[in-house]
Structures are given as structure tokens and as C-alpha cells.
């Protein structure tokens, strides 16, 4: 007798129970697959977002706050770093490829407004703009690819998310360049000269006049000389070292360094490797991830047990047909094989459906996270979930022998 033809008939006769079992197991497995994919997706995406920030320099405090505020543009309270630190980053100038200040606090519509220098915009000539050019004048700006502005647009910065939530500045900036898409929160940022940012707050001693007035040329010339020492400070500094040895020298040097702020207070410094700070950040969320994995594992185990019990249910539902087959001369091993294949078929279909559904759930989670953070996220199928589904399939194949043997030896057949 052909066991596959029998199995086809069985599935048609008991399709409600069979597909109900398949859907139940697929949903449980999809949760596990989604948890695995989402965790991997978040880690890889956040690491990619931090790639252009090798070393972060800030006032001594929380390393995580410095990372979140600088790399991911979250609203964090960061003490100002005196601008003199830029000239004293390392005992060896050859350790530094480039360094730039970053100042946060204002908004350009819904986009974060960041005061910085030209070297950060083009990464010291290593990054070409998608459109336009780098800023060359105090009231010019370069926008991220998803900042909500276009080339040649003009805007007035404001405090808060919009002018309605805070006062709008009088100064007007013009977008002269658009950065290439990076898949990071910086796609939603607008970069302006840090001097202009402090000027519109009335705290740039080098310029007491409107840059669009009679002294505009003098201010531009002073700005092009990159003399930033008289500015109040920066929220953070980003440093690109020339090599690993230089990176460690920079960190060790800054850990021993203090600088006087404009108000004569002493600022202790810290230098943070973004990779190390990310490890700390991931450790904070590892407990939540472990709890989700435990929940997913328990769901899979429960659903797998239900799959095995279904073998008994199917046998009971098909009692008359099984007896008829035995009367017609079908051996017990035929019955055993049929029940085993019914259960294993449900498990195989559930694993395939779980891989598809789990990836869809991860993609939906990625879209939600991207919308909130600006970090581009896309799930991928990896070895971890393939191993999980293979283990479930193998475990199902082993344990399905139990109901198959019980049914094969029962009085039903």
C-alpha cells in the first residue's frame, strides 16, 4: 500500500485538525524566529550606525548618555567640552586623522540641528555629498538625506520639535548640500557651522555682528581659519584616529586631562570607544532579550507537545478507516508510518511558515524602530533560526514516534 496516498487522504479528511495544529505551531515558532532576527537586526544596525564615530570625547559622566546623544541623536543632557580640547587631544599629533566638535540643542523643523565643522561634513574629504556642496559661509547648512528639506531651501532654527514648542530664531539658513543616505539617525539631521549656532545664541565672542551685515566678510575669514577656542564649547568631540595604537594613546591622555571652561570651572574629560560603549548598552538589554527567548522557547515546547498529542486525536478521528485498513491486510508498520508522517508533515509546514511569518514580524518591528530612531533596519535569515527550526523538526521526528507506536499497537488497529 502507498503510504503517501493514504497520507493525502488523511490530510483531506482531517484538514481542520491538521491545519489548526500547523498554524498553532507556526505561530509559536514565528515568535521565536522573530525574537532571534530582531535581536540580531538591532545589534547589527546600531553597530553600523556607530561606524563613523571611532572615539567620542565628552565631559566625565555617563558613557551611554554620550553614545546615545552623539551617535543616535537622542535627547541627553551633555555637559559642554571646552573647545581648547581640540588642540590637546593627544601627545602625538600624528595619532589623529581628523577631529570635529558637535553641538546639539536646536531643531530645523523636526530635524536635529547640529553645529559642527566642514571636516565632519565630508569626513576630511572621504565622503562626497549626494547633492550640492559643503557649507562655506556661516549661514549655510548641509542636510541629511531624510531631514525633510531640499537643496536651496531656507529655514529658521527653533528650540524644541517646532517653533510652536519654543521660540524661533531670527537667523535664516540656506541648504547648500545634501549628504548621502547612511541608514542612521544622521539622515534626519541638519549640519551648520558651530560658530553660527553659538552666534544665534549670542555667545560667539568672535562675532558681535550679524553675519549678513557689514562685518560678514571679516567673520567668514576668521571662521575659515578654524579658530574655535573662544566658543563656549561643544556637546561632544568626535575623533578619527590614524591607528589603534593612537586611539589608545588618545584615550589614556584624555582620561588624565582636565580643561577650564569659559566660566573657569574645571571639566574632567573622558574618551569613549563606541564599540565598548555599545557592548555596555547591549548588556543592559540582554536581560529583556533573554526573557523573550525564554517565553518563545516555552511556547515552542508547548506547541510541540500539542503536535504530538494531535497524533492520538487524528487516530481517534480516523478509527473506522484504520480498522478497515487492518482488515484489508495493511500491516501495523503502515499505520505507524502514516501517523508519524501526519505529525511530521505538520511540523515541517509549521517550520516553513514560521520562517516566513517570523521574518515578516521582524520586518514590521524594524519599520517601527526605524520610524522612531532613524536607524535603518532590515531582517535577514541567519544560521541561528535555521538551527532552531532544524532542532524542532528533528525533535518532532523523534517524539512523533511515541504516538505513532501507541496507535500502531492499540486495539484500534
Express each pLDDT in 299-355 by its tens digit.
778 777 777 776 666 666 666 666 666 666 667 777 777 777 777 888 888 899 999
Residue 210: pLDDT band by 50, 70, 90 thresholds? very low
Q: What is the DSSP string of 192-227?
A: EEHHHHHHTTT--TT--S-TTSTTHHHHHHHHHTT-
Average pLDDT for residues 112-132, to the nearest whole number?
Answer: 93
Distance CA 106, CA 195 (A): 14
pLDDT for res 280: 82
Q: 139-193, pLDDT tens digit by residue?
A: 999 999 999 999 999 999 887 554 455 567 778 899 999 999 999 999 999 999 9
Average pLDDT for residues 375-403, to the nearest whole number?
Answer: 87
pLDDT for res 100: 93
Distance CA 394, CA 400 (A): 10
Bridge-partner residues for 352, per DSSP?
Answer: none
Q: 213-238, pLDDT tens digit by residue?
A: 444 434 544 554 556 777 888 999 99
For 4, the grid coordinates are 503517501
Strands (E) located in 300-407: none
In angstroms, the Cα distances linking 347 to 233, 312, 371 are 62, 15, 35
pLDDT for res 301: 81
For 196, the grid coordinates are 553660527
Bridge-partner residues for 155, per DSSP?
Answer: 173
Amino acid at each position: 500500500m502507498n503510504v503517501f496516498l493514504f497520507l493525502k487522504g488523511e490530510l483531506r479528511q482531517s484538514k481542520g485538525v491538521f491545519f489548526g495544529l500547523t498554524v498553532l505551531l507556526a505561530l509559536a515558532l514565528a515568535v521565536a524566529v522573530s525574537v532571534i532576527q530582531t535581536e540580531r537586526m538591532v545589534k547589527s544596525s546600531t553597530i553600523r550606525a556607530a561606524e563613523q564615530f571611532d572615539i567620542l570625547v565628552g565631559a566625565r559622566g555617563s558613557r551611554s548618555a554620550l553614545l546615545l546623544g552623539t551617535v543616535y541623536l537622542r535627547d541627553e543632557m551633555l555637559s559642554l567640552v571646552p573647545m581648547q580640547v581640540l588642540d590637546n587631544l593627544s601627545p602625538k599629533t600624528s595619532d589623529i586623522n581628523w577631529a570635529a566638535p558637535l553641538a546639539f540643542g536646536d531643531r530645523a523643523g523636526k530635524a536635529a540641528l547640529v553645529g559642527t565643522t566642514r571636516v565632519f561634513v565630508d569626513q576630511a574629504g572621504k565622503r562626497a555629498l549626494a547633492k550640492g556642496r559643503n557649507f562655506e559661509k556661516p549661514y549655510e547648512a548641509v542636510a541629511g538625506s531624510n531631514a525633510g528639506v531640499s537643496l536651496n531651501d531656507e529655514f529658521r532654527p527653533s528650540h524644541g520639535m517646532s517653533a510652536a514648542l519654543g521660540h524661533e530664531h531670527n537667523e535664516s539658513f540656506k541648504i547648500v548640500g545634501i549628504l548621502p543616505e547612511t541608514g542612521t539617525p544622521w539622515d534626519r539631521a541638519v549640519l551648520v557651522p558651530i560658530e553660527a549656532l553659538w552666534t544665534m545664541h549670542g555667545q560667539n565672542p568672535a562675532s558681535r555682528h550679524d553675519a549678513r551685515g557689514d562685518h560678514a566678510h571679516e567673520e567668514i575669514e576668521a571662521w575659515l581659519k578654524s579658530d574655535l577656542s573662544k566658543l563656549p564649547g561643544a556637546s561632544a568631540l568626535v575623533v578619527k584616529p590614524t591607528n589603534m595604537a593612537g586611539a589608545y594613546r588618545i584615550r589614556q591622555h584624555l582620561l588624565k586631562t582636565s580643561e577650564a571652561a569659559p566660566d573657569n570651572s574645571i571639566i574632567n574629560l573622558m574618551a569613549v570607544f563606541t564599540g565598548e560603549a555599545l557592548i555596555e548598552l547591549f548588556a543592559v538589554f540582554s536581560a529583556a532579550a533573554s526573557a523573550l527567548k525564554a517565553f518563545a522557547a516555552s511556547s515552542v515546547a508547548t506547541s510541540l507537545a500539542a503536535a504530538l498529542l494531535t497524533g492520538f486525536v487524528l487516530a481517534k478521528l480516523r478509527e473506522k478507516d484504520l480498522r478497515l485498513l487492518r482488515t484489508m491486510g495493511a500491516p501495523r508498520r503502515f499505520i505507524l508510518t502514516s501517523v508519524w508522517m501526519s505529525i511530521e508533515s505538520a511540523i515541517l509546514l509549521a517550520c516553513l511558515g514560521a520562517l516566513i511569518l517570523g521574518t515578516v514580524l521582524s520586518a514590521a518591528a524594524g519599520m517601527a524602530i526605524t520610524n522612531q530612531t532613524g536607524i535603518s533596519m532590515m531582517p535577514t535569515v541567519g544560521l541561528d533560526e535555521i538551527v532552531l527550526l532544524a532542532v524542532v523538526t528533528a525533535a518532532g521526528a523523534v517524539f512523533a514516534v511515541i504516538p505513532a507506536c501507541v496507535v500502531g499497537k492499540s486495539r484500534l488497529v
